[in-house]
Structure formats: C-alpha cells, structure tokens
Amino acid sequence: MISRLSQLARHLSNPLPNLGHNSAAAAVSAARQRSTSGVASRIMASVTGSTAAANQTRTISTAACLIIGDEVLGGKTVDTNSAYMAKWCFSLGINLKRVEVIEDDEDEIVEAVKRMSQRYDFVVTSGGIGPTHDDITYQSIAKAFGLPLKLHQDAYERMKKLSKHSKTDPNFSWDVESPTKTARLRMVELPTDESRDLGPQALFPSENLWVPVAVVNGNIHILPGVPRLFEALLDGLKPSLIERLVDPEGKGISRVLISTPLGESAVASYLTDLASRVAPKGVKVGSYPRWGSQNNTITLVGRDLAYLESLVDEVVENTKGKRVAVEGEDDEPAGLDKAS
C-alpha cells in the first residue's frame, strides 16, 4: 500500500505538459500544478507518517549508533558514548550492527540518518544539539525527512524550570528577548511531523533533566553528546523499549570467556571449524590476542546460554584453555610472542 501511494505521489509531482503560450492556458496549468503538488505533498506526508508509526512499534532486533562531532574526529574529545551504547545493547539482547563517526556536516548527517533509519530498528545519534552555530543535528535530521523545526512547548517549560543560569550571564531572563535566549531555544526546536501525534516524537526519560530525546521517523533517537546526559537518557529509554525487544524478559545476550595459552595461529583451524558448526545456532566465536600477556582469549557469544555452556568443555580441551569469569584474571606478564 505504501509503495502504491509513493508511486502515485511521484506521478502527481511530474510536470504537466506545456499548454502553449496562451496566458489563460498558462494560468490553468499553474493552478493544476499547484493542486497536484499539494496532493503529492499530502500523500508523501501520509506515507512518511505511516513509516514512522510502523518504525516506532516494530520489534527491536538491530541497532546503530551515529556519533556526530568535529571534536571527535579532530581528537579533541574521546568518544565513550558508542562504547556505552554497545554494552547497553548487549545487555538487552539488541544486535548493535553499526557505529559511525561523522563531522558536523549537514549532507553527511542527512545521508547517514536516512540510511540507518531504513536499515536498523533502533538508531541513536550523539552530539550536535547544543546552542552554538555548529550544532546542526536537529536541522539536518529535519531536512533529511522533510520536517519543520518547531518549538516544543513542554521541553521549553522544562528547560525554564530545570536549567541553571550561567554565571557569565547573571541578568538573563526568559521574559526578555536576547541572543542568549535565542541560542537556548535552538535546543528545544525539534524536528516535528505535524501529521502525527506529538507525544511519541519527544520523550523525557529522566524527570531530573529537561533535555528531550527527539524521535524522528519513528526510530531515530537524538541524544546529546555529553556522556553524563547521554548515559542517563539512554538508560531512561529502557522501560519504554522492553516490550519491543526480541526477548522482552531482558535476558540479553550471553558471553562465555575461555583463556588459552596457545597462540591464535595454533587454534585458528579448530576455531574456524567450531564457528561454522555453531553459527546455525546463532553463536559467534571470537579470538582476541592479549599482547604482553601470557594468555589469549576465546569468546562464545549467543542468546542460548545453555547451549553456550554445552560447548565449554570441548573448547577448553581443544585449546588447552580454562574457563574464566573476567578476561585476564589468570594472566601473568609474558613476552610479546604469545599473541600469535
């Protein structure tokens, strides 16, 4: 149905035939063009709204994280948010399939969020939603989906109530127009689909924070880059997502660690065979060298913990290894030649 509506919208958007140079005919043509363009816009808005509604209710199996910021690419700031999200996804049984870091560039943001929204069930962006000129995440994501930026009244009221005044601007007042107020308002002017219920488009996961999580196209969640805020808001989203997880009980994904004194080359053949045998059961086998340590690490990752446990004795025997709870717990300093 959505595909047919999209085709109709494209058809209605096509230019009308040239009716000649007669002014009356030209006027008729212009009127018809405006009419069909309006119909096309309404149909495309309906299609977009339907997609967003579906995205916001579908089962969450896969996720992606988009880190936005020149400061990360320039080495000024170390990204910790993607690592936090990886652990968060792992604990919930969500497969984090992709992490990207891009600059504060509108075209880059537009391309990335459109692609990720289409490919993954749950998308999180980090960064670029502050008050300064280079914070362009909201406007870029709005452009990606043809949405206007609108002042979100609830977010604005929460901002006024919960935000602290800066010591550098002691005379600031919300009742007086000023450059500072204009800058702050940029943080609560959100991409808004006016054809949909506004409630699900801006979430407030923490009662102690005025910062909203804007939700665009149903599955793009726009979070700040400040780690403390990012982590608090991401954790706050969990209760609203539980029912949409592949495993609503929240058991997540399990990981078994096996420490081996053998180098990677010595166990490569066995692990290759093991990986092919267990892949149909949804298990991934990993091998990780530990440079400067006595042992290397083998991992078994999957959703079925009982099945993972059934593999442990075999792996231990074939790698001369030992089951460990924490990577490196049985290590002693050794030469670098143990890694491979």
pLDDT in tens, the chain (340 residues): 444 444 444 444 444 444 444 555 555 555 555 554 444 444 444 455 678 989 989 999 999 999 999 999 999 999 999 999 999 999 999 999 999 999 999 999 999 999 999 999 999 999 999 999 999 999 999 999 999 999 999 999 999 999 887 777 888 999 999 999 999 999 999 999 999 999 999 999 999 999 999 999 999 999 999 999 999 999 999 999 999 998 777 567 899 999 999 999 999 999 999 999 999 999 999 999 988 788 999 999 998 999 999 999 999 999 999 999 988 787 765 454 444 4
Residues 89 and 209 in one domain: yes
What's the pLDDT score for residue 24?
Answer: 53
Is 332 a domain residue?
A: no
**Helix 2-13 to helix 23-55 angle, to the nearest 10 degrees?**
160
Given a contact cutoff of 8 angstroms between Cβ atoms, the answer to whether 163 and 210 are in contact is yes
Residues 299 and 168 in one domain: no
Given a contact cutoff of 8 angstroms between Cβ atoms, the answer to whether 105 and 120 are in contact is no
What phi and psi, each to the nearest 5 degrees, are found at residue 113? Answer: -70, -35
Is 196 a domain residue?
A: yes
What's the pLDDT score for residue 43?
Answer: 44
Q: How far apart, in whole angstroms, are the C-alpha atoms of residue 301 and residue 308?
A: 8
Q: Which helix (H) or strand (E) holds 254?
A: strand 254-260
Q: How far apart, in whole angstroms, are the C-alpha atoms of residue 152 and residue 132?
A: 19
Could you tell me the pTM of the whole model?
A: 0.77
Residues 53 and 181 in one domain: yes
Q: How many domains does the chain have?
A: 2
Residues 182 and 161 in one domain: yes
What's the pLDDT score for residue 122?
Answer: 98
Is 2 a domain residue?
A: no
Beta bridge partners of 220: 123, 216
Is 26 a domain residue?
A: no
Residues 213 and 263 in one domain: no
Can you give the residue range of the structural domain that contains 302? 254-324
Q: What is the largest CA-CA distance in the chain?
A: 90
What's the pLDDT score for residue 21?
Answer: 44
Among 215, 244, 273, identify where a domain stops: 244
Residues 237 and 287 in one domain: no
Residues 308 and 180 in one domain: no
Residues 237 and 261 in one domain: no
What's the pLDDT score for residue 171?
Answer: 85
What's the pLDDT score for residue 166?
Answer: 76
Q: How far apart, in whole angstroms, are the C-alpha atoms of residue 191 and residue 130?
A: 15
Residues 156 and 104 in one domain: yes
Helices (H) and strands (E) in the chain, counts: 11, 12
* DSSP code string of 81-128: HHHHHHHHHHHHT-EEEEEEEE-S-HHHHHHHHHHHHHH-SEEEEES-
Residues 162 and 292 in one domain: no
Is 109 a domain residue?
A: yes
Residues 218 and 239 in one domain: yes
